[in-house]
Structure 1
């Protein structure tokens, strides 16, 4: 079983394997802090995504590389939002549901992201494997999820769950078993996080 799961790594540079494991550890911390509605989701997430920007470039997953770069930027934005206070009434952005306008904006962001990533893959001639098309779709899902998390919208977890479930087999097929396992754990935490955020929901 171990040989079946991890044989892909025999030709990988040791430093890439080490970086992947470090990124995964910080990623798991980040998702756990997100579940707890804790602002530490952002600094831990920045470490995770910054490492993955480099690794995904090496692995030619350009869509996911760009989404991780976007995560870094949105983490700074989210970090700022989550620190804002409204006098003594708590956070300016409490946990809430999406508005009708935000649903429309999410659709626009999703479609625009997919078109942009498709253009990038085409320009760099990276449509060499069917996972490139899946990566493009997942990039749109995750980008919307990150945007909604920064705004503390509970629907962000639905996008994370969908993207995580698709990412599990995608990364395994590409040969990155550790990252695939990471997304299994992400999915479990995301389901729990949705239930936990729902308890604190402000309609």
Structure 2
């Protein structure tokens, strides 16, 4: 499997390796499938995680490896959650909604504490990561985003956007140029997906609001 970390081509002076190219292309497809609320988003995220482990190992980015391991575990859980949710829906689709304020507080608080804990671990053991706090932020942010996606929360798009803001420069600095470029495309898809899920969440609550007593 050494070919995965061999050079595929060079673009704009950056060397693109196969694992970076394949993993992020599949990841981009997974994001598009998530936008469409297609259950195949989860197998695609799982495959992307497996391939990107090789990419992150090639540049000794432990946080990235940990992130992909989380992607694999949460993808399996999300796959199951969406399968159950789709069976329980009348129209067989995945319902989306905004999180409650309590859920938002738990997501933000958990992400903050998780980043401090993981960042502290990486800082204490420099061999795990050359950029401990950025790695920790991406690791925990990815976990929060995927959890919110599995629960059908519109906020998962906001979480991905915040992860991208750090992920793009970090990947360029780490030598994973294609990851950096593809994260820019992710950003555009995130904005479109955020709008689509927001509109869907409003439509799903409108009948209940219209039928409520004045």
- TM-score range (shorter-chain normalised) is 0.7 to 0.9
Instruction: Classify the secondary structure of the residue corresponding to 1:126.
Output: helix
Look up the match of 2:112: 111
Contact 1:42 1:75 in 2 (8 A): yes
Aligned positions, number: 193
Instruction: Classify the secondary structure of the residue corresponding to 1:200.
Output: helix
Residues 189 and 134 of structure 1: CA distance in aligned 2, closer, same or farther (over 3 Å): same
Look up the match of 2:5: none
The Cα offsets for residues 37-83 of structure 1, whole Å up to 9 and x where unpaired, read as 11111111111011112322332222222121111111111111111
Gaps (5+ residues) in structure 1? Answer: none
Look up the match of 1:174: 174
Look up the match of 1:86: 88
Instruction: Classify the secondary structure of the residue corresponding to 2:12.
Output: helix
Contact 1:127 1:133 in 2 (8 A): no
C-alpha separation in 2, matches of 1:35 and 1:76? 18
Look up the match of 1:32: 32
Deviates more, 1:133-142 or 1:21-30: 133-142
Write out the 4+ residue segments of structure 1 that deviate beyond 4 Å after TM superposition. none
Q: More strand per residue: 1 or 2?
A: 2
Residues 173 and 38 of structure 1: CA distance in aligned 2, closer, same or farther (over 3 Å): same
Offset at residue 154 of structure 1 (A): 0.2
1:152 aligns with 2:152: yes
Residues 87 and 19 of structure 1: CA distance in aligned 2, closer, same or farther (over 3 Å): closer
Gaps (5+ residues) in structure 2? Answer: 1-8, 206-214
Report the structure number with the largest CA radius of gyration. Answer: 2
Look up the match of 2:99: 98
Offset at residue 22 of structure 1 (A): 1.1
So what's the TM-score if we normalise by structure 1? 0.84
Offset at residue 4 of structure 1 (A): 7.7
C-alpha separation in 2, matches of 1:110 and 1:194? 20
